[in-house]
Amino acid sequence: MEMHSFPMAKIGVIFSLVTGAVIAMCIDVMNTHDIKLARKLYSFLKPNDVLLGDRAFCAYADMVAIQQLDCDAVFRKHQSRTTTMRKGKIVGDCDKLVTWCKPKKCPKGLSKDEFLALPASITVREIYYYIVIPGFRTQRVSLIATLLDTTTYPTLEIVGLYGKRWDVELDLRHLKTTLEMDVLRCKTPSMIRKEIHVYLLAYNLLRSLMWSAGTTYNTPPDRLSLQGTRHHLINFIPKLEAADSKKRLRLYRTMLKIIAHKAVPDRPARNEPRVRKRRSKAYPLMTKSRQKLRKQLQTA
């Protein structure tokens, strides 16, 4: 049987933890590894940035590359690294400085010159803690960080910082679900890229409005509703277009006040079942081209 499927792209994105806005993005084919996308995004980092990521990005070469950019990283420890907390210098409760040695073989994705340029060893900070919240699958989490100064970066602050990494999942959900970017309409790769960039422009516009509203009316911008901001903006656009410059400024300030009026309550440790509410229709999946399906209808 000849199978036909829709083309799929893989997107790598860096979000700002403060504003929720998209800082950088790259697009590649679906079977591209996450770490390959990440390495394309490192050039967008600025000195003193702290990059949060899950275990897929916790590689020796990447820790070195991020430090060479005068940045720091907090990643979850990769499951293939079997080093224990028995060795290393104790710097706090469940907190140690450990030494990582350079891999013996050149990892995939690195050239021989890049591999030879890696230092023989690096010192990283390993922190582990336990999660006892119902609904969370992971019980023990091990973090690897390049933030070695325990006075400036206490253990609990790093743990709390990594806990905010989940915000990126919510930001991606806003892009795919709230703004409906999960299904793209264009047909060619170049137009698909343009369509994705337009979605990101709209997303960053909403985030900028949330930031302006929050900072103007002393409300945490990350507690404002992106969907609510979208609805208010859509309602105000006709009025803003018809108003003169003075009235437009008043309308803009009114819109910011309405956006900041009702903040989303902080709901720590909230968990929801991973189920679908809407029932899909009972039609079979499309596994052939429309031309072949039409012929089957004609011969039936």
> pLDDT (tens digit, 9 = 90+) per residue, 197-237?
999 999 999 999 999 999 999 999 989 999 999 999 999 99
Give the strand pairing for 22-29 and 95-101: unpaired
Asked if 85 and 131 sit in the same domain, the reply is yes
Q: How far is CA 66 from CA 51, 52, 74, 172, 202, in A?
A: 8, 11, 11, 23, 30
Residue 297 in domain: no
Q: Which among 73, 7, 65 is positioned nearest to 36, based on CA atoms? A: 65
Asked if 158 and 196 sit in the same domain, the reply is no
Asked if 238 and 152 sit in the same domain, the reply is no
Residue 13 in domain: no
Residue 66 in domain: yes
Residue 3 in domain: no
Q: How far is CA 96 from CA 76, 99, 161, 204, 276, in A?
A: 15, 10, 18, 39, 42
> What is the pTM assigned to this prediction?
0.83
Asked if 157 and 255 sit in the same domain, the reply is no
Q: Could you tell me if 69 and 80 are in contact, meaning their C-beta atoms sit under 8 angstroms apart?
A: no
Q: What pLDDT sits at residue 1?
A: 35
Average pLDDT, the chain: 87
Asked if 75 and 154 sit in the same domain, the reply is yes
Asked if 112 and 57 sit in the same domain, the reply is yes
Of the listed ranges 50-54, 59-63, 85-89, 248-252, the one predicted with least confidence: 85-89
Q: Could you tell me if 130 and 138 are in contact, meaning their C-beta atoms sit under 8 angstroms apart?
A: no
Number of structural domains the chain divides into:
2
Query: Domain containing 208: what range?
Result: 187-259
Residue 219 in domain: yes
Residue 35 in domain: no
